[in-house]
Amino acid sequence: MQTRTAREIADYVGGTLHGDETVALHTVGSLERAGPGALAYAEAAYLPRVPATRASCVLVPPGERPERTVIVVDRPRVAFARAAQWLLHRDRPAPGVHPTAIVAPDASLADGVHVGAWSIVEAGAAVGRGTVIHPGCYVGRGSRIGDDCLLFPNVVLYAATELGDRVTIHAGVVIGADGFGFVFDGERHIKIPQVGHVTVGSDVEIGANSCIDRGALDETVVDDGAKIDNLCQIAHNVRIGTHAIISSQTGIAGSSTVGEHATIGGQVGIADYCRIDPRGIVGAQCGVPSRKRVPAGEVYWGTPARPLRNIKKQQFHLNRLPQMAADLRRLQAEIEDLKARLDRK
């Protein structure tokens, strides 16, 4: 954490400052809970709340602005995220290898690497400049880790795993375990050896306790900028496109593809050989059956997954079912009455 002035923040995010440019900012917060020294933000709908905030400076959209220190930007939330990263820059531990860590003689550690207590770096592994490996991590034989990566405690990288630059992996993640590959011979399940590996691009973040399996014969790929939430399962030979978002508790079965800038909601189940095209959106708790395709830019929801516009129509009719049932009973009664009168004639 460090202190910046409102002027420095405005220059950093490319905004227009109104008010006291010398205001000191050292933290961030919400409009409701921020105190002195904090930077907050407000979208257009929340501008009426700005006068009451105790935050020292607020990022706001163009248009009417409150009479206080504000920075006008086109997208306050985006500017806030960038400013917060800069303002709250995380201190990294000093370079060096802890006495209890085990680093193979032929492993390569670049300048500025930190290896924490009880971590293991196996033979042939290479760790890039400025990377931090926190306590209890395991870096398998022949793995490659790029520059400025951050591995939190108890991360496991199986052999031959590859990470790009600036990758953040949270606690308990396992990358490169065997994929779930078996064939049934009529009596028992026979394991198919999983001989591929996992390649993770640059600027990827992987949430706590998620698992990414190695490819069966080729590779499992997570491309640059993708973000994977906590408790996700990515199976063998899956490909995650650039800047895709995978939310918590999602499972993606083998050989499926998630396109660039696609968004997968929480608790989604994607079966094998599915294809989520670029910028496709799969809503929370959606079930995507085998070999299903979600077209580019489309929003799918439900189980089995189908276009959201169709589900909205179906929900409209479902909401009318009680009245439709009552109408049907009334019509049936009228028909029975009519039949009875005709029979009497």
Strand order across the 144-145 sheet: 108-109, 126-127, 144-145, 162-163, 197-200, 219-222, 239-240, 257-258, 275-276, 293-294
Cα 239 to its chain centre, rounded Å, is 15
Measured CA to CA, the distance from residue 220 to residue 79 in angstroms comes to 33
Q: How many CB atoms are closer than 10 A to CB 63?
A: 8
H/E segment holding residue 72:
strand 70-72
Cα 105 to its chain centre, rounded Å, is 36
174 SS3 class: strand
Contacts of 145 (CB under 8 A, 6+ apart): 125, 126, 127, 128, 131, 139, 151, 157, 163, 167
Best CA proximity match to 180, nearest among 234, 260, 241, 261 = 234
Best CA proximity match to 119, nearest among 162, 165, 157, 170 = 157
Whether residue 144 contacts residue 124, with contact meaning beta carbons closer than 8 Å, is answered with: no
Among residues 114, 170, 236, 243, the one annotated as catalytic is 236
Whether residue 35 contacts residue 54, with contact meaning beta carbons closer than 8 Å, is answered with: yes
C-alpha pair distances (Å), 211 with each of 137, 155, 158: 15, 10, 11
Best CA proximity match to 302, nearest among 293, 294, 311, 290 = 311
26 is catalytic: no
C-alpha pair distances (Å), 325 with each of 330, 335, 337: 9, 15, 18
Active-site residue list: 236
